[in-house]
A and B are shown apart, each in its own frame.
Chain A
Amino acid sequence: MSTVFASREALTRKMLAEGRQYSRGVSVSISDVSIALGGRTVLEKFNVEIAAGEFVAIVGRSGCGKSTLLRSIVGLETPQTGSIALGTVAQGKPDVRIMFQDSRLLPWKRVLQNVTLGLEPSFIPHATKILDQVGLADRANDWPAILSGGQRQRVALARALVHDPSLLLLDEPLGALDALTRIEMQELIETVWWNRGFTAVLVTHDVAEAITLADRVILIEGGLVALDEFIHLPRPRTRGNARFAVLEDRILGRVLQHRSIETNEPVADAVNEEADAH
């Protein structure tokens, strides 16, 4: 990664010097949201405020409602009560994009056509540029079926980025990738977020991944915010770092502590509930 990450203030100064707005991101304000799926309450009077341009990671056990929260922000689930409000952007409506664990590329469209889905043909040069940014310029005319899992997720990322989103939601987009591809993708997502300044919300099982990428890690338990931890480590972050390890221990410990209290609840059930929720 070529970008040198400094503090957030440094980025603000840099962007101001270039005459750009600090962030094209939008704030997200989730207040008193309750969602029940199939008669089971997933989120109960859930509140969280996300600042514009912030990178937030949401962790929690399977079935805790973190995916449901993300899906309700993009409108795939409708909360029974409460409201989800997005801040305003300079022009038009804030653009919200979501990346899923599976790339959800249309297999009958070539890579470039997948990236320009729902757009005018005039977007093709722009889409080609974005494909180049995710390192897949030479695969523009391939069918998704012949790409590897990591490459497919890069295409899915490019598809989201073409729209220049103000808010990018990431629903465990790296969950199905091998360890090396995962690290590559984490770096790519971090770079893109850093350069563009959108707001990012990442749902993940992986506490280390959350700490690597996020400004702030939120733990959801029992439908509520159980932990809200700001990560003040300089970027790019490495796992070898001692403070990183302390943070990971603390958050992981907090996640597991709850589980050890409720040992009588089988994990398999929670997994099934997660599957039902989809």
Chain B
Amino acid sequence: MSGKVMSEIQRRTITTSPSLQAIGSRALPWVVPVALLGVWQWSSSNGTLPSRFLPAPKAVVTTFIELSRSGELWMHVRVSTIRALSGFAVGGGLGLLLGLLTGSFRWAETLLDTTLQMIRNIPALALIPLVILWFGIDESAKLFLVALGVFFPVYINTFHGIQSVDRGLLEMGRTYGLSRWALYREVILPGALPSILIGVRFSLGFMWVMLIVAETISARSGIGYMTMNAREFMQTDVMVVGILLYALLGKIADLLSKGLERYWLRWHPAYQAAR
């Protein structure tokens, strides 16, 4: 009863100035970024901020348009994306496979988990000198670094996902005569999926970090190459375009994995805002 009255009062206070308040709360988060952008443009155009430190925002936009018109930009983006995705496929696939193995079979856990946990403690980037020695500076080195970066988040979350599947559901599945494979497909995998998808989202973050490092060290194409090459010629506008591209690609990957979660976990209460 009192709750109803409260919401009535709230509704009234909100409806006093509906449009203005709504616009205000929508616009508020954008005030600071827009102001920073304004200050940046202003100080660039009056010479306070020399373009060899940071180009004007307008110059960045112009360069972006130029590079994409000439097709150079898309070539680099394509190369980087292929590198990222193939590294993700190899490392993530292996992580999933080994995680499923150690999560499902006690002998595999005993055999492999300690070793994998030890390797996990080595920072992947610390291996760079060895990686260069082993693979040189061609594609396989980048693939190796990206795969190594994405492997562990996927592995650990898959392992834990399988270990934490509800025992009650497993018991139920067994009393319903599900075969081992059916139990795996109907109960264990879907039960582990939320955890596996968390691992995937973490690993997507690592994927870009490893790729940036790999491409910055040595590359003959890709966004990292474009950025490092621009440094040689003091083309700060190209460098900023490259940095922003990494940010954009990272955001796209994150959105995709979120979409995947929303679809695969649509049964989950957290994803059931509207039926």
Contacts and interface: CB of A to CB of B under 8 A. Distances in A.
Decide if A and B are genuine partners: yes
Contacts of A142: 275
A45 interface: no
A139 B168 CA distance: 24
Interface in B179-210: 182, 186-187, 190-191, 193
Nearest to A117: B176
Q: Could you say which interface size class chain B belongs to?
A: 20 to 34
Contact of A118 (B169, B171, B176, B268): B176
A118 B178 contact: yes
B267 A107 contact: yes
B17 to A, nearest CB: 37
B18 interface: no
A142 B269 CA distance: 12
Contacts of A74: 175
B190 A145 contact: no
A100 B172 contact: yes
B25 to A, nearest CB: 30
Q: Could you say which interface size class chain A belongs to?
A: 20 to 34
A143 B178 contact: no
A222 B171 CA distance: 27
Given A76-B171, A118-B176, A145-B272, A108 B182 contact: no
Interface in A120-157: 142-146
Interface string B100-114: 000000000000000
B129 interface: no
A107 B172 contact: no
A236 interface: no
A75 B169 CA distance: 15
Contact of A106 (B190, B266, B275): B190
Contacts of A102: 168
Interface of A: 74-76, 96-98, 100, 102, 104, 106-110, 117-118, 142-146, 159
11 contacts: A100-B172, A104-B169, A106-B187, A108-B193, A110-B267, A118-B173, A118-B182, A143-B272, A145-B267, A145-B268, A146-B272
Interface of B: 168-169, 171-178, 182, 186-187, 190-191, 193, 266-269, 272, 275
